[in-house]
Structure 1
Amino acid sequence: MIELEVCVDDVASLHAAQVPGVARVELCAALAVGGLTPSMGLMRLAVTLETPAYAMIRPRAGDFVFDAEEEAVMLGDIAAARSAGLAGVVLGASRDDGTLDIAMLARLSAACGTMGRTLHRAFDLVPEPLRALETAIELGFERILTSGGARTAPEGAAVLHSLTQAAAGRIEIMAGGGVNPANVVALVRETGVGAVHGSCRGPVQQYAPVVAALGFGVSRAPADPLVIEALRAALDTVDRYDHS
């Protein structure tokens, strides 16, 4: 079965992802900026639910070039995820040239202990994806979340296919970025990926004008169990075909 991971950043979305066929949730804050480290409270709630959760470890928005103090923050957040009992974490760190910061990733990985690890979309900045793939394998990551270096996974399908072929089962390639029920069948058939990742958002919920006027945000779009079920159903049709 092709795995489905749902990324969430609030309590409603976390509960929405508790449906059959979801392999795990990526637990975040601030999905509007690509996801940041979630609160300890959200981590503790996640471990009381059925679907395994991996916490995003990302201390700020922007790039993935982190200094020593930011690394210290990430190490503290990894410790928090471990103490909460989460199944794993989602990591990434870059150098100025876009290559993976191998030394920092090794230190962060060592702090994870037995928790699972996903390499996040810092991977999409690397100048040589196939070389970075081998680095991720050497570092012991379970999977790579990637759009194939493009804005969306369908746009990066050719690179995703190359990565899947090169991985040869040694590490999971998980396609993420713009994945939805309408495009996931074609994406999986074209790339051969064994897992997909999406936010599965439902209708946008608008806040009262006074909330927006005070700068607290205009709207939100939590994950929708109907969208999750539609994405799972689409994936199940692909399972009946050779998508390698």
Structure 2
Amino acid sequence: MLLEICANSYQSAKNAQEAGAHRIELCSELSIGGITPSYGLIQQVITELEIETFVLIRPRSGNFCYSEAEFEIIKKNIQVCKDLGCHGIVSGVLNSDNTIDIKRTQELIALSHPLPFTFHRAFDMVPNPTEAIERLIDLGATRVLTSGQQPKAIDGLDTLKMLKQQAQHRITILVGSGISSENAKVFKNEGFHEIHASASEIINSESSSYFGNTPQTVSSLKEIKTILNVITNEI
């Protein structure tokens, strides 16, 4: 089983590498679901670390239905990531009714080529996941990050199993949301090949500003190692 760590900072990415994670999804602002990290962060991770790095391309929080200006920003950020040497792209676009925006998503997948493309957790908002998974397969997406349309993947297990059965290796089901050392083995036992976890720990709970208290988190070296030990049957 492959472990992808959702890394919200350089330190999180470094911890993921040192712990032995297989890949990171680099982003910023996990508290709002993640947005595109800064140019400087992407460059530093790619330059100084060796871990496979996919980058989240999401211009803002909120929904996944974007204006023309926002869509242009998404495309420019994908090109920046390719130029910097990133290893994969994580993105996606929905229509106002939360169905997959086929035309725009197809454009993003084509622009990302030859890098693998992960359709992110916007998938968990689609009204018909079985239909949506077929559309993503048709478009050539490499994988889909999903919790089975529940807040936590463990609660969406039945839907995840259904999607895995339907996919038949045509697209990778990357299981994410609430994955920890306590439940990772469940997904391995069900035959999933990839999981996605932030493995977060609070390192500064008293961080405050004019915008209120915002705890600072980092992907925990210890928790990542423990997850890896669990999925490799070492504990």
- Could you state the TM-score of these two structures normalised by the residue count of structure 1? 0.91
Q: Distance in 1 between matches of 2:7 and 2:213?
A: 18
User: Which amino acid in the other structure matches residue 200 of structure 1?
Assistant: A
Q: Distance in 1 between matches of 2:192 and 2:29?
A: 27
Q: Distance in 2 between matches of 1:196 and 1:88?
A: 16
Q: Distance in 2 between matches of 1:18 and 1:104?
A: 33
Of the structure 1 ranges 10-19 and 71-80, higher mean CA displacement relative to structure 2 is found in: 10-19
Displacement of 1:97 in angstroms is: 1.4
Q: Report if the CA contact (8 A) 1:52-1:87 is conserved.
A: yes
Displacement of 1:189 in angstroms is: 2.2
Q: Distance in 2 between matches of 1:162 and 1:237?
A: 25
Match of 1:44 in 2: 43
Structure 2, gaps ≥5 residues long: none
Displacement of 1:100 in angstroms is: 0.5
Match of 1:197 in 2: 196
Match of 2:228 in 1: 232
Q: Report if the CA contact (8 A) 2:5-2:25 is conserved.
A: yes
Of the structure 1 ranges 111-120 and 143-152, higher mean CA displacement relative to structure 2 is found in: 111-120
Q: Deviations over 1:27-64 (max 9, x none)?
A: 10111111100111111112121111011000000110
Displacement of 1:113 in angstroms is: 2.6
Q: Distance in 1 between matches of 2:210 and 2:97?
A: 39
Change (3 A) 1:87 1:216: farther
Match of 1:8 in 2: 7
Q: Deviations over 1:206-229 (max 9, x none)?
A: 346xxx243374321201111000
Q: Report if the CA contact (8 A) 2:19-2:222 is conserved.
A: no
- CA RMSD in angstroms, aligned pairs only: 1.7
Match of 1:57 in 2: 57
Displacement of 1:111 in angstroms is: 1.4
Q: Which one has a larger percent strand, Structure 1 or Structure 2?
A: 2
Q: Distance in 2 between matches of 1:111 and 1:217?
A: 39
Q: Secondary structure at the match of 2:36?
A: coil
User: Which amino acid in the other structure matches residue 43 of structure 1?
Assistant: I
Q: Report if the CA contact (8 A) 1:4-1:21 is conserved.
A: no
Match of 1:242 in 2: none
Q: Distance in 2 between matches of 1:104 and 1:90?
A: 14
Displacement of 1:114 in angstroms is: 1.1
Structure 1, gaps ≥5 residues long: 239-244
Q: Secondary structure at the match of 1:26?
A: strand
Q: Distance in 1 between matches of 2:167 and 2:187?
A: 17
Question: How many aligned residue pairs are there?
Answer: 234
Displacement of 1:20 in angstroms is: 5.3
What percent identity do the matched residue pairs reach? 33
